């Protein structure tokens, strides 16, 4: 395939028609001037050494050299090398226990962090393999679908915690069943399930699930984390431990018997995890024994610079033009002038190619550092490549990968965005040139899909599922056949729905709580009002009512009337008693 790396220089070819017009116009003026001196036929006889054809030939040679120079500046490239890369490897699905018991610190720093380090080291050992990640507690779900994108695996690994699974417990059976459904349909490739747990299976059925997986050709390996003697589970506050409903401290123990039974039923092996890396080495040896088959084939084209061909053509044209004069005695001064100008002629393309080699070399150095997990040094080389060529989208893409590996999501998203912008510009340019059927257009779309895929992975790990879904959609628009991206998008959509549902539940809980608080306030206010009314009634009962003057006079008249009646009754009694006394006295 042929292409120009800097097609903008091709606009210089528009100068060629102007040069032709100028040459014709100059010849007309020259001919008219000669006619003023006499008959042209007589003048030709007076100048026998003069040639009319040589100036034209020299002009066309210089014009051709100028056109070749424009093509040279545009940096012609040919896809002269095609290579087919066949990747041989295995498929592994890692099921990680994230129950609360994995927070026990009987291994350093704790069971969960130790398990995450083991997974990270395993992923670094993978080269042409595919891996997937499942987390489980009371439930199990896919954290990362099976992929060869090891950067995504490390990103998803960093976001794992016990809170990622809502229902606590330990259901190893669910994890193994889900793992058996996560492999690709490729045949002839070794497939293994790696279960990392403390063996406290609360649901049952794990041995039967491992046996069913082995019957399908999936070997089950178990890594037991923790101490068989047991240790308490740290609580949410420092120095505290988790307790059961009776107030007793919960002690978690490694159930090695259960782990061995699962591994034996799954046709694999059991490895005890301590503070050393012996379990990792033993597991890696077992995985190396698995059959490796072709998992993926990649065909790519490397573009070779072809400027040298045009440079040699230009040199030949100039040499020919130099030795062709208007007479038969060409001057040697022209050769000296040509030697002086030749470095200037070749300076610009040489500088352009040198710059390209420089930025490409920095990218290659960065990729080598990245492969050796020297992410900071890789970042430095990618930055140098971008400084050498700010239009190099590979530099931004690789820089985003290095930031992702360093767990700097904001910086990674920014660099992925810059890489996508440059690729979108190339895509737009190819669309305007109606080159949608070219291999270059297909490659640009493929690279865009990779950029958007990694961008979505970063958003996914940061639990920004809405942005992750949009990034995955952009990736699928450029590569609709990418099943991994489609799976990630579906997973992100489910997580987004759960996130929105949780947010709605939280909002409803808040609304209910506000309503309850409002009702409580209203009840309190009503109670206060009732208390105030009762207090007022009591005060009114205790204080005598003010009596009007008319009522007072009526009460006074009634009292006087009563007093008068009493006096009359007394007088009557006195009258009745007085005669008796007199009679007694008289007697």
* pLDDT single digits (tens) 247-292: 788 888 888 998 999 999 999 999 999 888 888 889 988 888 886 6
Range of 47-56, 186-195, 509-518 with top mean pLDDT:
186-195
Look at residue 346 in the predicted model and tell me its pLDDT: 47
184 CB neighbour count, 10 Å cutoff: 15
User: Computed from CA positions of residues 487, 490, 202, 237, in that sequence, does the dihedral angle turn out positive or negative?
Assistant: positive
Which DSSP state fits 462?
T
10 CB neighbour count, 10 Å cutoff: 13
Strand partners, 196: 96, 223
Length of the chain measured in residues: 587
Q: Is 567 helix (H, G, I), strand (E, B) or coil?
A: helix
The least confident of 226-230, 294-298, 464-468, 526-530 is 294-298
98 CB neighbour count, 10 Å cutoff: 25
The least confident of 65-79, 251-265, 468-482 is 65-79
Q: Counting beta carbons within 10 angstroms of the beta carbon of residue 572, is it exposed (0 to 12), middle (13 to 18) or buried (19 or more)?
A: exposed
- Measured distance CA(306)–CA(316) in Å, rounded: 16
Rg (C-alpha) for the chain, rounded Å, is: 48
Enter the tokens of residue 254. 């490694």
Q: Is 407 left (phi over 0), alpha (psi -120 to 50) or beta?
A: left
278 CB neighbour count, 10 Å cutoff: 12
Look at residue 6 in the predicted model and tell me its pLDDT: 78
Q: Are 292 and 86 in contact (CB under 8 A)?
A: no
CA distances from 8 to 64, 77, 234 (A): 19, 14, 65
Question: Tens of pLDDT along 289-336?
Answer: 886 655 444 444 455 667 778 888 888 888 887 777 665 444 444 544
Look at residue 199 in the predicted model and tell me its pLDDT: 81
- For the stretch 50-53, contacts whose Cβ atoms lie closer than 8 Å and that sit 24 or more positions apart, written own/partner, are 50/326, 50/327, 51/326, 51/327
The least confident of 8-22, 92-106, 168-182, 499-513 is 499-513
- Residues 27-61 as b/e (b if ≥16 CB within 10 A, e otherwise) read eeeeeeeeeeeeeeeeeeeeeeeebeeebeebbeb
- Measured distance CA(196)–CA(175) in Å, rounded: 11
Type and span of the H or E element at 85:
strand 76-89
- Measured distance CA(360)–CA(302) in Å, rounded: 12
Q: Is 491 helix (H, G, I), strand (E, B) or coil?
A: helix
In the Cβ-directed half-sphere of 14, how many Cα atoms lie within 13 Å?
5
- Measured distance CA(278)–CA(58) in Å, rounded: 79
Confidence band for 72, pLDDT divided at 50, 70 and 90: confident
Q: Are 266 and 212 in contact (CB under 8 A)?
A: no
- In this prediction, residues 350-360 reach a mean pLDDT of 55
CA 520 remoteness from chain centre: 46
Residue (of 244, 326, 426, 284) closest to 53 by Cα position = 326
Q: Provide the mean pLDDT of the chain.
A: 78
Q: Is 224 helix (H, G, I), strand (E, B) or coil?
A: strand
Question: Tens of pLDDT along 107-153?
Answer: 888 899 999 989 988 888 887 788 889 999 888 888 888 887 777 77
Confidence band for 39, pLDDT divided at 50, 70 and 90: low
**Is the N-terminal amide bond of 266 cis, ω within 30° of 0?**
no
- In this prediction, residues 434-450 reach a mean pLDDT of 85
Strand partners, 4: 76
What is the C-alpha end-to-end distance of the chain, expressed in Å? 171
Residue (of 201, 202, 218) closest to 210 by Cα position = 218
CA 188 remoteness from chain centre: 33
DSSP 147-195: ES-HHHHHHHHHT--GGGSSS-S--HHHHHHHHHTSS-S-SSS-EEEEE
Q: Are 194 and 223 in contact (CB under 8 A)?
A: yes
- Measured distance CA(546)–CA(529) in Å, rounded: 27
Strand partners, 96: 135, 196
Confidence band for 161, pLDDT divided at 50, 70 and 90: confident
Look at residue 550 in the predicted model and tell me its pLDDT: 64
Look at residue 577 in the predicted model and tell me its pLDDT: 46
Q: What is the dihedral of CA 379, 380, 382, 388, to 10 degrees?
A: 160
Q: Are 469 and 489 in contact (CB under 8 A)?
A: yes
Enter the tokens of residue 563. 């007093």
Q: Counting beta carbons within 10 angstroms of the beta carbon of residue 292, is it exposed (0 to 12), middle (13 to 18) or buried (19 or more)?
A: middle
Confidence band for 578, pLDDT divided at 50, 70 and 90: very low
Pairing of strands 140-147, 231-232: unpaired
Type and span of the H or E element at 543:
none
Look at residue 220 in the predicted model and tell me its pLDDT: 94
Q: Is 132 left (phi over 0), alpha (psi -120 to 50) or beta?
A: beta
Question: Tens of pLDDT along 22-37?
Answer: 888 887 887 777 667 6
Q: Helix, strand, coil: what percent of the chain each, to 5?
A: 65, 15, 25
Strand partners, 297: 86
């Amino acid at each position: 395939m042929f292409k120009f790396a800097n097609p903008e220089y091709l606009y210089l070819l528009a100068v060629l028609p102007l040069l032709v017009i100028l040459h014709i116009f100059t010849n007309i003026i020259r001919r008219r001037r000669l006619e003023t001196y006499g008959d042209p036929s007589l003048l030709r006889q007076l100048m026998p050494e003069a040639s009319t054809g040589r100036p034209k030939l020299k002009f066309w040679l210089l014009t051709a050299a100028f056109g070749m120079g424009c093509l040279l500046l545009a940096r012609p490239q040919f896809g002269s090398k095609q290579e087919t890369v066949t990747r041989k490897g295995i498929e592994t699905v890692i099921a990680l226990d994230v129950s609360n018991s994995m927070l026990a610190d009987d291994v350093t720093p704790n069971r969960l962090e130790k398990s995450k380090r083991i997974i990270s080291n395993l992923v670094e050992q993978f080269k042409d393999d595919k891996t997937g990640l499942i987390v489980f507690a009371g439930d199990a779900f896919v954290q990362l679908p099976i992929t060869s994108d090891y950067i995504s695996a490390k990103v998803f690994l960093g976001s794992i915690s016990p809170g990622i699974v809502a229902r606590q417990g330990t259901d190893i059976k669910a994890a193994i069943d889900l793992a058996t459904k996560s492999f690709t349909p490729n045949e002839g490739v070794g497939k293994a399930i790696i279960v990392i747990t403390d063996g406290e299976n609360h649901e049952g059925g794990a041995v039967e699930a491992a046996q069913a997986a082995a019957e399908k050709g999936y070997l089950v390996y178990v890594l037991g984390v923790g101490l068989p003697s047991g240790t308490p589970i740290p609580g949410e506050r420092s120095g505290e431990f988790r307790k059961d409903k009776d107030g007793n401290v919960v002690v978690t123990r490694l159930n090695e018997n259960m782990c061995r039974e699962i591994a034996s039923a799954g046709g694999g092996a059991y490895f005890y995890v301590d503070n050393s890396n012996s379990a990792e080495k033993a597991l890696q040896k077992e995985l190396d024994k698995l059959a490796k088959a072709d998992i993926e084939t990649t065909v790519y084209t490397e573009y070779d610079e072809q400027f040298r061909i045009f440079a040699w053509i230009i040199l030949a044209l100039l040499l020919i033009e130099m030795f062709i004069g208007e007479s038969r005695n060409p001057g040697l001064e022209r050769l000296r002038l040509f030697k002086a100008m030749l470095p200037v002629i070749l300076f610009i393309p040489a500088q352009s190619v040198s710059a390209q080699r420089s930025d490409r070399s920095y990218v290659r150095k960065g990729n080598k550092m990245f492969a050796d997990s020297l992410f900071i040094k890789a970042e430095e080389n990618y930055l140098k490549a971008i400084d050498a060529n700010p239009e190099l989208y590979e530099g931004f893409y690789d820089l985003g990968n290095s930031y992702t590996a360093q767990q700097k999501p904001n910086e990674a998203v920014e660099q992925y965005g810059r890489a996508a912008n440059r690729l979108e510009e190339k895509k737009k340019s190819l669309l305007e040139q109606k080159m949608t059927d070219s291999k270059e257009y297909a490659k640009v779309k493929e690279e865009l899909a990779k950029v958007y895929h990694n961008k979505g992975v970063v958003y996914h790990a940061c639990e920004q599922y809405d942005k992750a879904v949009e990034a995955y959609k952009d990736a699928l628009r450029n590569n609709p056949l990418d099943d991994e991206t489609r799976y990630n998008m579906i997973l992100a959509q489910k997580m987004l729905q759960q996130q929105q549902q949780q947010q709605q539940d939280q909002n409803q809980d808040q609304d209910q709580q506000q309503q309850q608080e409002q009702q409580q306030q209203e009840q309190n206010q009503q109670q206060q009002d009732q208390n105030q009314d009762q207090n007022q009634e009591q005060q009114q009962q205790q204080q005598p009512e003010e009596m009007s003057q008319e009522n007072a006079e009526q009460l006074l008249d009634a009292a006087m009337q009563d007093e008068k009646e009493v006096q009359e009754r007394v007088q009557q009694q006195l009258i009745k008693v007085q005669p008796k006394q007199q009679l007694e006295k008289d007697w």
